[in-house]
Amino acid sequence: MTDNNFERIAEAIRYIEANRKRQPSLEEVASHVCLSPFHFQRMFTEWAGISPKRFLEYLNVEYAKRILSEEHPSLLMTADKTGLSSTSRLYDLFIHIEGMTPGEYQSGGAGLQMHYVFSDSLFGEVIIASTKKGISYIAFVDDDKKQALETLQASFPFASLTEQADENNACAANIFQLNWNDVGEVRLHLKATKFQMKVWESLVKVPAGQLTTYHQLAQSIGNPKASRAVGSAVASNPVAVLIPCHRVIRSTGVFGNYHWKPERKAAIIGWEAAHANERQQLIS
Q: What is the pLDDT of residues 201-239, one digit of tens each?
A: 999 989 888 999 999 999 999 999 999 999 999 999 999
Look up the pTM and report it.
0.88
pLDDT at 268 over 70: yes
- Mean pLDDT within 179-189: 74
Check pLDDT > 50 for residue 90.
no
Local confidence band at 17 (pLDDT 50, 70, 90 cut-offs): confident
- Pairing assessment for the beta strands 126-131 and 113-119 based on DSSP bridges: antiparallel
Q: Name the residue among 113, 104, 123 with its Cα closest to residue 164.
A: 113
What pLDDT is stored for residue 235 in this prediction?
95
pLDDT (average), residues 31-38? 95
Range of lowest pLDDT (16-25, 139-148, 267-276): 16-25
Q: Which of 67, 138, 242, 245 is catalytic?
A: 245
Per-chain mean pLDDT for the chain: 86
Alpha helices, DSSP H, located in the chain:
3-18, 26-32, 37-48, 52-57, 61-69, 75-82, 102-106, 145-155, 167-176, 194-203, 214-220, 227-235, 262-283
User: Regarding predicted confidence, which is higher, 171 or 4?
Assistant: 171
Residue 245 bears catalytic tag = yes
Cα–Cα distance for residue pair 157/173, rounded to 1 Å:
24
pLDDT confidence bin for 76, thresholds 50/70/90: very low
Confidence of residue 276 (pLDDT cuts 50, 70, 90): confident
Asked if 191 contacts 105 with a C-beta cutoff of 8 angstroms, the reply is yes
| Banded model confidence at residue 79, pLDDT cuts 50, 70, 90 | very low
Average pLDDT over residues 229-254: 95
Residue 183: the pLDDT is: 61
